[in-house]
């Protein structure tokens, strides 16, 4: 048996070299395509999350404006109440003064 016969026998029935180069290139191309698809998917998910965050920020800003307006309204109402109380107290003092003046 010659050297070539022993090499063929050791490599199996294919004889010669196995075509692994093409298979590895195909596998690498598949892996690259899978990675690129995952990157695209992650990029899309990140974009969706950004959109949701922007919506949440807008909602928070609207709520903040509403709260600030409500606080302003409350301050205005409290100021009006204080003013009315002051007027009432002044009227009470005037009435007391008139009653005390008439008793004398």
Digitized pLDDT (tens) for each residue of the chain, 104 residues in all? 566 666 566 665 554 455 567 888 889 999 999 999 999 999 999 999 999 999 999 999 999 999 999 999 999 999 999 999 999 999 999 998 888 877 76
Residue 66 included in any domain: yes
Number of domains in the chain: 1
Residue 5 included in any domain: no
Altogether, the residues listed in the chain come to a count of 104
Residue 1 included in any domain: no
Residue 83 included in any domain: yes
Find the Cα–Cα–Cα–Cα dihedral 80, 83, 84, 88, rounded to 10°.
170
Containing structural domain, residue 25: 20-103
Per DSSP, the three-state class of 15 is coil
Residue 70 included in any domain: yes
CA angle 42, 43, 48 (to 5 degrees): 95
Q: Is 33 within 8 Å of 25 (Cβ atoms)?
A: no
């Amino acid at each position: 048996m010659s050297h070539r016969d022993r090499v063929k026998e050791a490599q199996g029935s294919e004889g010669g070299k196995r075509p692994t180069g093409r298979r590895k290139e195909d596998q690498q191309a598949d892996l690259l395509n899978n990675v690129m698809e995952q990157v695209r998917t992650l990029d899309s998910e990140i974009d969706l999350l950004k959109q949701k965050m922007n919506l949440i920020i807008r909602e928070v800003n609207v709520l903040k404006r509403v709260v600030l307006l409500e606080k302003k309204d409350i301050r205005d109402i409290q100021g009006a109440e204080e003013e009315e109380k002051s007027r009432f107290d002044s009227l009470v003092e005037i009435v007391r003064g008139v009653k005390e003046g008439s008793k004398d």
